[in-house]
Amino acid sequence: MAATTGAQGKGLIHTAACLIIGDEVLGGKTVDTNSAYLAKFCFSAGINLKRIEVIADDESEIVEAVRRMSNNYDFVVTSGGIGPTYVVFFVRCLDELTVGLRHDDITYQSIAKAFDLPLKQHDAAFERMKRLSKPHPSQPNFDWNTPSAALTAKKRMIILPYNDSIADEEQVIFTDDQLWVPVACVNGNVHILPGVPRLFERMLDGLKPRLLPRLTDPEGKGVLRILISTPLPESAVAEYLTQLAARAEPKGVKVGSYPRWGKENNTVTLVGRDVEFMESIVPEVEKAVQGHRVAVEGEDDPAQADPKKTEVA
């Protein structure tokens, strides 16, 4: 049975899940960065990201995962499987970035199957594609009006799962004027994004204005994360942090400790919404762990020893 309650996608967004579809990731050929981007996006939007799964480009895996996630979480994002790097298709972004999208991926068809939906060619998306994409240099004779294998491949990318009973703009979302690739939204809450990181990030950011009215803590304004860099090893601060966590818990504030591999200093974090309480304990925590507050993890590392700073948003 398909999970088609039709009730998803209306209420407040409390929880999210991320489905990374990609043999390339599982095969070690690509490193997934999209889930990390989504995690930061959710954190700053006050959405509780509950799950990230990486699965193969396999229909039954995709069907099972999207049904379950659509049922269990308010906001579901899939990445890949309409995605990267066979040079078949070119998309033009604002900055003239061109990326190849692969035509043989199975995400759309698998997700359509998961929710018993037909696949339909989306004419508005096709028009945008014609307007915004330029043919690959290897296809100088390509013509939008002459049938060819290349044209068929391109068209597959705008043949989307479609429910005739749902308003078009709720299921085919154009996130920006310069991109023809839409976010297909299925069963009210499953958002299908490409795996190409530049596109994924940009399209996810483009969804934000639509999500805002449904966020419980828009812009994550109420969620504050304070970072304190400490030269003490975790074992030396554990006892203090345990008693601090007990005191902070009734205020809804979480205390964390993050050893940093190969680095001199570790990070203690305070995460919560009670800004007043959190600010009031900073001096005490700094003193107890012999550290100091930093804006970004690693900002006090000696420059040459750590060229690549790790940001904690």
Ligand X SMILES: *[C@@H]1O[C@H](CO)[C@@H](O)[C@H](O)[C@H]1NC(C)=O
Interface residues toward ligand X, by CB under 6 A:
4, 6, 115-117, 163, 165-166, 229, 231, 264-265, 291-292, 300-302
Closest distance of CB 64 from ligand X, Å: 17
Residue whose CB is less far from ligand X, 61 or 300: 300
Q: Helix or strand or coil: residue 263?
A: coil
Residue nearest to ligand X (CB): 6
Question: Residues 202, 179: contact at Cβ < 8 Å?
Answer: yes
Based on CB atoms, which residue is closest to ligand X, 116 or 143?
116
Q: Least Å distance between CB 279 and ligand X?
A: 18
- Report the alpha-carbon distance of residue 112 to residue 5 in Å, rounded: 15
Shortest distance (Å) from residue 98 CB to ligand X: 35
**Dihedral sign for Cα atoms in the order 265, 270, 276, 280:** negative
How many CB atoms sit inside 10 A of residue 167's CB?
Answer: 8
Count of beta carbons in the 10 Å neighbourhood of residue 43: 17
Judged by beta carbon, residue 9 or residue 22, the one nearer ligand X is: 9
DSSP 47: -
Tokens matching residue 74: 């308010």
Q: Which is nearer to ligand X, 264 or 284 (CB)?
A: 264
Alpha-carbon span 26 to 271, nearest angstrom: 32
Please give the C-alpha separations between residue 151 and each of 25, 93, 125, 139, 276, in angstroms, as whole numbers: 28, 20, 14, 11, 59
Q: Which helix (H) or strand (E) holds 87?
A: strand 84-92
User: Residue 116 or 249: which CB sits closer to ligand X?
Assistant: 116
| Amino acid occupying residue 117 | L
140/262 with CB nearer ligand X: 262
**Least separation, in Å, of the C-beta of 221 and ligand X?**
28
Nearest approach, Cβ of residue 37 and ligand X (Å): 27
> Considering beta carbons, is residue 30 or 265 the nearer one to ligand X?
265
Q: How far apart, in Å, do the first and last CA atoms of the chain sit?
A: 40
- Residue 77: CB minimum distance to ligand X, A: 19
Amino acid letter, residue 150: A
**Cα distances (Å, whole numbers) of residue 116 to 5, 14, 120, 163, 178:** 12, 26, 13, 9, 31
User: Least distance from C-beta 292 to ligand X, angstroms?
Assistant: 4
Residue with Cβ nearer ligand X (24 or 301) = 301
Distance of CA 255 to the CA centre of its chain: 25
For residues 52 and 35, the answer to whether their CB atoms sit within 8 Å is yes
Eight-state DSSP code of residue 243: H
**Smallest distance from ligand X to CB 313, Å:** 20
